[in-house]
Amino acid sequence: MSITYLWSREFLAKRLILWLLFISNALGTIYGYIWYGDQLRYTATYHPWWQLPFVPDSPTASLFFSIALLLLLYPPKKLSGWVLQPLIEALAVVTSVKYGIWACAMIFAGAYQGNDMIWQDWMLIGSHSAMAIEALIYVKLFHIRWTALTAAIAWTLLNDTVDYTFGVFPWLPAQLNDDLAMVEAFTLALTLFSGLLTWIAVKRAFLAKSRSKTDLP
């Protein structure tokens, strides 16, 4: 068996693989919301209620990806499902790539400025790297359209705006609190970069699918 088979459409679409990924992402999502528990309680106490959904960025990204996997396992039959599925998939890819990279960058930036790294930091680096990688790999099975991708980028930019306008961004290592303007600029730029990377991945997947159909006898 060739190593390339492991990221082929045939392998990635196997129900066993989809279920294993769904379970691991669902568990990671639950853990992520628990991880944000203190910040959610703080936000609920000192901020308007409508800002709460903008607090847990990474677990919401993995939630989108978990739902996208579930839609691959049980494709929607109604027209409304075909409208929502591309949007959920676009949100899954854009936010998973964005927050996967963002979390790793913040951990390393904090460590560079003197924050002590513990085992949980390395666990977060591993899990967030996996978020970004799996999202880009599964683009080839998704149904992302440019309208859905545009909406996903717009939502993520809105999330960034709320985070840094109202101070509900993910809590940072203390060493980065005096670099907030730079963190905000990096975050906004990363959203656009993640959208671009998703668009490139979608185009590559479309071209590869078109070539495979052309090669058929």
At residue 12's C-alpha, the angle toward residues 11 and 14, to 5°, is 70
Q: For the segment 117-149, what is each residue's pLDDT rounded down to a tens digit?
A: 898 999 999 999 999 999 999 999 999 999 999
Q: How far apart are CA 47 and CA 43, in angstroms?
A: 5
Q: How far apart are the first and last CA of the chain?
A: 23
Domain boundaries, the chain: 3-214
Burial 152-164 (b: 16+ CB within 10 A, else e): bbebbeebbebbb
Residues 62-80 have a mean pLDDT of 88
Q: How far apart are CA 87 and CA 133, in angstroms?
A: 19
Q: For the segment 152-208, what is each residue's pLDDT rounded down to a tens digit?
A: 999 999 999 999 999 999 999 999 999 999 999 999 999 999 999 999 999 988 887
pTM for the structure as a whole: 0.92
